[in-house]
Every structure is written in structure tokens, then in C-alpha cells.
Structure 1
Amino acid sequence: MKTLNLFLVLLFTGSITMCAQKSPKQTADGKADGVTITIDYSAPSVRGRTIWGGLEKYNKVWRAGANENTTVKFDSNVSVNGNALAAGKYGFFIIPKEEGDWTVIFNTKNDSWGAFSYKEEEDALRVDISPEFVDDVQEQLEYSVNDKGIRFAWEKVRLFIPVSAQ
């Protein structure tokens, strides 16, 4: 009986470990200039891979996470890097570039799997943001919200997207 119980415990533990998501679902929320911002995303990890220019190609629309596209929700009208954007929930995409500013996209379609059905004509707003390249590696993709906007960190890239109430 003890052998059977031990076997069942090991089987159950192994099943949980095998089913652990490689890119777990995450939520980042907070307020920027009084606006509530909620970001839902799946967080991939670097795991020794070349991310920029490798896994995520330069000059190509990326879902800004893994699995379903990342979404960003604003509870009131905002200004994003000086550009007006109405309250609502948006699909969030990024176009990484080898040189120069990266493009962040707020798209009216917020229920896609990845960027496969992305259409530029459904964009609500595109803004260019200067990436910051750092020495330390952020292993797992992370979004956060502070009183000035949205912060993105993955691998050796950081983006800060200014958001204010409109």
C-alpha cells in the first residue's frame, strides 16, 4: 500500500511539473496620472535564446508576449506619449528594430491568438518609443505600471511608454 501511495504522489507531482506553463499568464495593473491601466499577457522566458533579431524578428509585428496577444485596458481617455487614445481595451503589439525607435501599437482587435490576424488598418494608435539597452538580463517578460506610464522589460531591453490622463 505504501508503494502505491508513493507511486501516486510521484505521478501527481510529475504531472504538475510537466504541465507547468512555459509562458504563464500574468496581469500588471496600476494607475498612471489617475488612470487605471490593466495589462494581461503571457510571460515568456529567455531560456538562453537570442530574443531580438532571433526569436522575435526585427521590423515585424510581435504580439508583445506569448500565446494570445497582450492586451492593455484604460479606464478613461489617455494620452500615450503625447497622442490621444480613447478609454478601452486594446490588443498591444510591438515592432522591434535593430536601430532607432521601436513602434508600440494599440490595436482595436483585442482577442487574437498572437499576431497572426493582425491588421494595420485596425490600429487605434502607433507611437515610437526609444528602447533602453541594459547589461542585466530580465529572464521573464515583465510589464509594470507606475504613476507615469507602462514599463516593459525583457532580455536586455526596457521600454517606457508615457501615459497620462486626457
Structure 2
Amino acid sequence: MKRTLTILLAVITCFAVNAQIEVPQPSPAGSVYSKVGLTDVTIDYSRPKVKDRKIFGEGDEFLQPYGQIWRSGANAGSVLKLSTDVKIAGTDVKAGEYLIFTVPGKDEWKFMLYSDVSLGGNVAGYDKEKEVVSTTVKPIMLSTPVETLTYNISDISENNTSANIQLSWADVSIKVPMSVDFDAAVMASIEANTKVNPGNYVAAANYYLNAGKDLNKALEWMNMYLSVGENAKQFWHLHTKARILAALGNKKEAKATAEKSMELAKAFPNGDFGYVKRNEDLIATLK
């Protein structure tokens, strides 16, 4: 009996030692993700709060004095993850993971990417030889303060070739430009996939049209798709053909194709999906 009690007490003691109580963290974990072009962009970071403190400024009374390197987050710092090669502030950056460091200043901030993520938030161990990007940006003063540090992938361009890495905290925000190049990847995909699935000719034609590439090739691909089975009744793709013809300067055929697309759209039992108006607008430009 005594031996059983001893074992039971040992088990209880062991459980008490290993059991942990989970409580909210002062700087909770955060993550932001966006696709820019064909690139997955992720920032994992810890989010400190202002909590009535002076954050950025001149002198030791500020949490992060001007001119001193900052891990740009709390705890182990902030990690930028890139799925493809990109350019950041004009500098080539390979796919991979990088720590974000900054040096705040009144009139400009220094922004750095660091290749050794094992450094974490240890700014004292910063090795300039492992610096991948070093650039300066102008800070944006905020009229409405941001209580909790926030990263964002902002200002993604209409053609998906550029965006900004944005950091906002307290009364300041900075934006660092990033650009991506996906044309070569798209071209390789077109070459590979149109051979195994003719339906991909539509995507290829659309890409050529929107990117201003060889429009005759785009028209060839669209005609190849529309010639199969009942595909010519797909008024949404006929509209794309009309746009290609219009871009080639073939107004007469573009108008006839747009009129056929509009006719099919009006007769479609499930609605025209806005293609009657799209064709009317296109025809109006062909006079």
C-alpha cells in the first residue's frame, strides 16, 4: 500500500511539473500572406503593442531610439518568406527566408534583409556580411496611431508585377518596393500545358492579349480552341476573340465577332454575365 501511494505521488508530482498553463502573450504571433504574380509572400512575426510607451524618437526615453538597429518585431524577430526570386528595392533576392531588420530615423529608415534566420532577434550578433538587402525609405507619419505592430503586403499593382512590404506601428509606417517577374514561368507553362490540354489555349491567348505579346499567336490559339466541338457557343471566349481582333486593328471582324458573342449571350438561359454590356462597349470603340 505504501509503495502504491509513493508511485501515485510521484506521478502526480511529475504531472504538476510538466503541466503548463497557457496565457495570452504580450506580443502575440502574427502572419500576413499574399500572392504577388506567381510568388507566395509571407511574413511571420510577433506583434508588440504601444501600451502608452514612446516608441520611435531621439534619445533613450524611446523604446526604439533613432539610429539603432531594430529586429522589426518582438521575440525572435520578423521573417520574410519568398517562394520565387524577386527584386526588393531594386536588389535581386533569391527564394528563401530572411530576417527583417530596420534602423528607424526621423527623416529616413534603413531596411535590411538578413540571410541567417537563426540569428532571431539578436541584434548584437548582426553580421553585415550576411546582409542581402540594404536600402533607405522615407517614413510616412500616421494621423491615426497603430497600437499593434502590423505588416502588410500592400499596393499590389494591377498587372501583379509589384507590391510594397509595409510596416506600421505607433505613428509611423514604411513601404519597401518589391517586384516580381513571372513572364518566363508563364511562357514555359503555356509551352508545356497546351500540348496536353488544348483548353489551356484560352488562358494562353488571354495572357498574350493582356501582356501585349504576339496578338496573331493569341488569335491563332483562340481559334484553335473555338474550333473544337461546341466551344464556339461560349460567348465569353468569343468576346475575348473580338478583343484580340480589335487590338490587331481588324475592326470589321472584331465587330462581327462581338455581335455574335452578344447574340449568344442574350439567348443564354442562365444570364449573360455582363457580356451584353461588354460587347456593346467594345462595338462602340470600333466605329
Query: Per the shorter chain, which TM-score range?
Result: 0.7 to 0.9
Give the structure 2 partner of residue 112 of structure 1: 119
Matched, 1:29 2:36: no
Give the structure 1 partner of residue 80 of structure 2: 72
Which is bigger in relative contact order (C-alpha 8 A, separation at least 6)? 1
Cα displacement string for residues 6-45 of structure 1 (whole angstroms, at most 9, x for unaligned residues) = xxxxxxxxx65xx211100111111224321110110000
Given candidates 43, 49, 54, the residue that maps to 1:45 is: 49
Q: Distance in 1 between matches of 2:94 and 2:45?
A: 21
Please state which structure has a larger fraction of its residues in strand: 1
AA paired with 1:164? S
> How far off its partner does 1:109 sit?
1.1
> How far off its partner does 1:69 sit?
1.6
Q: Which has the larger radius of gyration?
A: 2
Instruction: Name structure 1 gaps, 5 residues minimum.
Output: 1-14
Give the structure 2 partner of residue 127 of structure 1: 135
**TM-score normalised by L of structure 1:** 0.84
- Judge which range, 123-132 or 106-115, deviates more: 106-115
Give the structure 1 partner of residue 168 of structure 2: 153
Identity within the alignment, %: 28
Kept after mapping to 2: 8 A contact 1:22/1:44: yes
Please state which structure has a larger fraction of its residues in helix: 2
The aligned length equals 149
Counterpart of 1:111 in 2: which secondary structure?
Answer: helix
Give the structure 1 partner of residue 104 of structure 2: 96
Matched, 1:141 2:145: no
Q: Distance in 2 between matches of 1:162 and 1:35?
A: 15
Instruction: Name structure 2 gaps, 5 residues minimum.
Output: 1-20, 157-162, 182-287
Q: Distance in 2 between matches of 1:160 and 1:35?
A: 19
Alpha-carbon RMSD across the aligned residues, in angstroms, is 1.4
Given candidates 159, 179, 186, the residue that maps to 1:164 is: 179
Kept after mapping to 1: 8 A contact 2:101/2:112: yes
> How far off its partner does 1:165 sit?
0.8
Cα displacement string for residues 43-96 of structure 1 (whole angstroms, at most 9, x for unaligned residues) = 000000000021012111100000102110111111112221111100110110
Kept after mapping to 2: 8 A contact 1:30/1:38: yes
Query: Residues 149 and 33 (structure 1 numbering): CA distance in 2 closer, same or farther, change over 3 Å?
Result: farther
> How far off its partner does 1:117 sit?
1.9
Kept after mapping to 1: 8 A contact 2:146/2:170: yes
